[in-house]
Amino acid sequence: MTRRILLVVHPHRPEAQEAASLAAAALEAEGIVTCTDFEAGVDAPVEAALVLGGDGTILHAADMTRGTGIPLLGVNLGHVGFLAELERDDVAHAARRLAAGEYEIEERGTLDVLVTLPDGRRTQGWALNDVTVERANLRTTIEVALDIDDRPLSTFGCDGVVVASATGSTAHAFSAGGPILWPDVDALLVVPLAAHALFSRPLVVGPRSEVRIEILDRSASDGQVVLDGARAIDVERGSRIEVRRGARAVRLARMSDAPFSERLVQKFALPVDGFRGERPISDTGAGI
């Protein structure tokens, strides 16, 4: 049977196009057909996707392959690249290992969102990283009511509210002052943006919780709901946005068993000079 691997390439970076050529040559040498889109009428399924770009390209690939179960292997050609598994110098090596099936699958939780407009019309969406309710007019703020588990929590004026998955905790939510969650933490993160309120700290809520944000009629601006920083839904005053844990996970291909803490050190260039490894433990259980 013909084997196929999908190539998802950043469309505007020359280095991504060069990397795609290297990857395609390496895969074809292994007898694998590459494609850049799902082709109608082709019997051979796509067994994996090699994604060449930054986190935005990986998020696009996740949306592109939504519901297929295709694992995504990211090669970072961007800046930080938290979702990517490998760096730009590893393209041909990554392609060969992907062809050989030398990877593990890591499932990442997602977010499902339901937007209800004042007239009752509904729009559904999803995100891997985050759902952000933002002001439509950048010169004003929006007034929102925040409910958790169908119970009112607070109302406040703000620039917006980010609801993130654990995966998305290193993205917009982190920039807004939210904590970093390890990828295997099954929770939702709620981070108000520049809120005019005494109680405006980030919240970590349980995996079965539902977060509801209503744009109040007294708000100075309409809003928009932005999914993974790429897809937007316009919302009017009086609209309600409900976010819960997604029904479908995204599958990432992993070739390294390094812990997430190592990824943090590498991506943020954290200082670890002077670290001595494991410290001896005293009889009382305290480090000495």
What confidence tens digit (pLDDT) does each residue in 17-73 have?
A: 999 999 999 999 999 999 988 765 566 789 999 999 999 999 999 999 999 999 999
Q: Is the pLDDT score of 224 beyond 70?
A: yes
Q: How many domains does the chain have?
A: 2
pLDDT value, residue 277? 63
> What do you get for the CA distance between the two ends of the chain, in Å?
60
Q: What distance in Å separates the CA atoms of residue 35 and residue 17, rounded to the nearest whole number?
A: 14
* 236-257 pLDDT per residue, tens: 999 999 999 999 999 999 998 8
pLDDT score, position 257: 86
Calculate the alpha carbon distances from 4 to 10, 42, 272 in Å. 20, 10, 42
Token couple for 255? 């070739």
pLDDT of residue 268: 87
This prediction has a pTM of 0.90
H-state helical runs in the chain? 14-29, 55-64, 91-100, 172-175, 260-268
Same domain for 224 and 122? yes
Asked if the structure places residue 260 within a domain, the reply is: yes
Mean pLDDT over the full length of the chain: 91
**What's the confidence (pLDDT) of residue 169?**
97
Q: Which of 43, 55, 184, 234 is catalytic?
A: 55
* 285, part of any domain: no
For residues 123 and 230, state if they share a domain.
yes
Q: Do 88 and 143 belong together in one domain?
A: no
Question: CATH number for the domain including 155?
Answer: 2.60.200.30
List, in sequence order, every residue forming a beta bridge with 188; answer none if it has no partner: 205
97 and 161 in a single domain? The answer is no
Domain that holds residue 203: 111-245
Indicate if 186 belongs to the active site.
no
9 and 96, same domain (yes or no): yes
3-state secondary structure of 280: coil
